[in-house]
Amino acid sequence: MEKLVFILFMGLYAALFSESKNVVPTEIHKKEITVKKKISKVDALYESMNLKDVVNYKAFKEAMEGYRLLPAKNKDVLSIIDFTLPSTEKRLVVLDLKNEKVLFHSLVSHGKNSGSNYATSFSNTPESFQSSLGFYVTENTYQGSNGYSLVLNGLEEGFNDRAKSRAVVVHGADYANPRIVSSLGRLGRSYGCPALPRELAKPIINTIKDGSLLFIYADNQEYIAKSKVLNHRDDLTAYYEKDMAGDKFGKMN
């Protein structure tokens, strides 16, 4: 009797296993699989560029979401500022995505009213003297009171779209010198601009000027919840499903 029960059980198991192998994925499952394959390219790029000790993975992932969605003249270069790090650490990274290289890794100042060593408060309001989060596109350069400077156009309404009227630009500053850290225990602070060490300002500006994307990250819950770029999930899903043949990073020019 036990032998008969065992035979019946094995026959039922074999039938179920055979049926499961022949299940045809639904269209929804196919789309999910496709999206996961596309998204995994971000992980592969993070690993191939050896970015683990250079830039926070979450900051990189969010930056790449905006990179895929937002049009820009120069999609070979992407800059990320990670304000979850203290000002005593290198928070700006400039990436050459075309050639998979780290071009610059630098200290960068935040706004004087955003915090002391850490930037914790952000604003889009004039005269707030705070940094602003989100995606920017770089524009032209000019000689101003802070020397060679780069105009930033904030792309996110409510978060950084007043960057131009606030004169939030990339420039060099003496207070962004690493020697300041030894005396103050932190980097000097700006009026809201991402200020760089003097010796790096010109080469970095010349690399990222004229239409590349800059993303300022802080793992800020309000920004994550309300950013129109990060919350265009349907648009991103549809975009990931497009044929990306011949274009590794999916430029959207």
CB atoms within 10 A of CB 172: 20
Residue 241 is predicted with a pLDDT of: 41
Which contacts of 246-252 are long-range, i.e. CB under 8 A and separated by 24 or more positions?
248/41, 249/45, 249/67, 249/68, 249/75, 249/97, 250/68, 251/75, 252/68, 252/69, 252/70, 252/71, 252/75
CA-based nearest residue to 42, from 64, 59, 58: 64
Q: Where are the alpha helices (DSSP H) in the chain?
A: 2-21, 27-48, 57-69, 178-184, 198-208, 221-226, 233-240
> Measured in whole angstroms, how far is the alpha carbon of residue 152 from the centre of its chain?
16
Lowest mean pLDDT among 45-49, 65-69, 205-209, 237-241: 237-241
What is the arithmetic mean of pLDDT over 59-72? 95
- Domains of the chain with CATH codes: 29-240 (2.40.440.10)
The structure's pTM equals 0.78
Residue 232 is predicted with a pLDDT of: 77
Residue 251 is predicted with a pLDDT of: 36
pLDDT tens, 202-253? 999 999 999 999 999 999 999 999 999 999 755 544 443 443 333 433 333 2
